[in-house]
C-alpha cells in the first residue's frame, strides 16, 4: 500500500502540471538549525512577519517531530525555460504557476492522505499583506510553511529525491514537497 500511495501522490503532482516530481524517504531528510538561523537573519524580509515563517510557524524541534511522524516525501517542481539568464518574466511566471497549482493539489492529496505535511516554496503570499500578528491566518487550510522554515535545505531535499535542484542553463525551478 505504501508504494501505491507514493505513486498516487506522485501522479497527482504530475496531473497538476508540476514538471518534475521525485521521491525520498523522510529518513533522508536532514533538519539543520543553520537554515533557521538564515531565516532569523531576515534576508527575505518574512521573519516574524508571516504566520508560516519563524517564529510563528513553530520551532525546529516541532518540525523534526512532524517529519519523524511521516515516512514519505514527494517533491514537486515547476520548471521554467528562460530566453536568457535575466528573463524575469519567466522567473515570475514560473513562481506564480507554482503557487497557482498548489491549492488544488493540496485538496486532492487530502482526499486520500491522512494528515499530509506540505512544505512549500518560500513564505506564504496568499494575502497581499499577512494578518500576522494581529489577526489569525485568513486561510489556515492553504497557508503552509516553507521547506526552509522546517530547517530543510531545498537542494538537499531535491538530491535525496533524485531530481535536479538546478535544471541547467537558462532554466528556473521552484520546489515544494509533501510528507506523509
Ligand atoms: S494566508 Fe494570509 S494570513 Fe495566512 S499566512 Fe498566508 S499571507 Fe498570512
Rounded (to 5) percent helix, strand, coil in the chain: 35, 15, 45
Q: Whose grid coordinates read 520546489?
A: 175
pLDDT in tens, 93-145: 999 999 999 999 999 999 999 999 999 999 999 999 999 999 999 999 999 99
Residue 1 confidence class, pLDDT cut points 50, 70, 90: low
H/E element, 176: strand 171-179
The pLDDT, as a whole number, for residue 43 is 85
Q: Model confidence over 52-90: pLDDT tens digits?
A: 999 999 999 999 999 999 999 999 999 999 999 889 999
Give CA–CA dist 58/170, Å, rounded.
36
Is the CB of residue 121 less than 8 Å from the CB of residue 98?
yes
Cβ of 50 closer than 6 Å to ligand 1, yes or no, is: yes
Q: Model pTM?
A: 0.95
44, 106, 118, 127, best to mutate for ligand 1 pocket (most atoms within 8 Å of CB): 127
Cα–Cα distance for residue pair 137/144, rounded to 1 Å: 11
Q: Which residues contact 175 (CB under 8 A, 6 or more apart)?
A: 75, 76, 77, 121, 147, 154, 157, 158, 165
Amino acid at each position: 500500500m505504501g508504494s501505491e500511495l507514493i505513486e498516487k501522490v506522485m501522479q497527482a503532482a504530475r496531473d497538476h502540471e508540476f514538471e518534475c516530481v521525485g521521491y525520498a524517504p523522510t529518513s533522508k531528510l536532514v533538519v539543520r538549525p543553520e537554515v533557521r538561523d538564515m531565516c532569523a537573519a531576515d534576508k527575505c524580509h518574512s521573519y516574524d512577519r508571516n504566520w508560516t515563517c519563524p517564529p510563528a510557524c513553530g520551532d525546529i524541534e516541532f518540525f523534526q517531530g512532524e517529519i519523524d511522524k511521516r515516512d514519505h516525501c514527494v517533491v514537486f517542481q515547476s520548471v521554467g525555460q528562460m530566453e536568457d539568464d535575466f528573463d524575469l518574466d519567466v522567473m515570475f511566471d514560473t513562481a506564480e504557476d507554482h503557487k497557482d497549482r498548489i491549492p488544488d493539489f493540496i485538496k486532492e492529496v487530502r482526499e486520500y492522505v491522512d494528515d499530509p505535511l506540505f512544505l512549500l516554496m518560500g513564505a506564504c503570499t496568499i494575502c497581499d499583506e499577512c494578518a500576522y500578528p494581529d489577526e489569525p491566518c485568513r486561510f489556515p487550510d492553504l497557508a503552509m510553511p516553507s521547506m526552509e522554515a522546517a530547517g530543510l535545505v531545498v537542494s538537499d531535499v531535491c538530491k535525496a529525491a533524485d531530481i535536479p535542484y538546478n535544471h541547467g542553463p537558462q532554466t528556473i525551478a521552484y520546489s515544494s514537497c509533501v510528507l506523509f
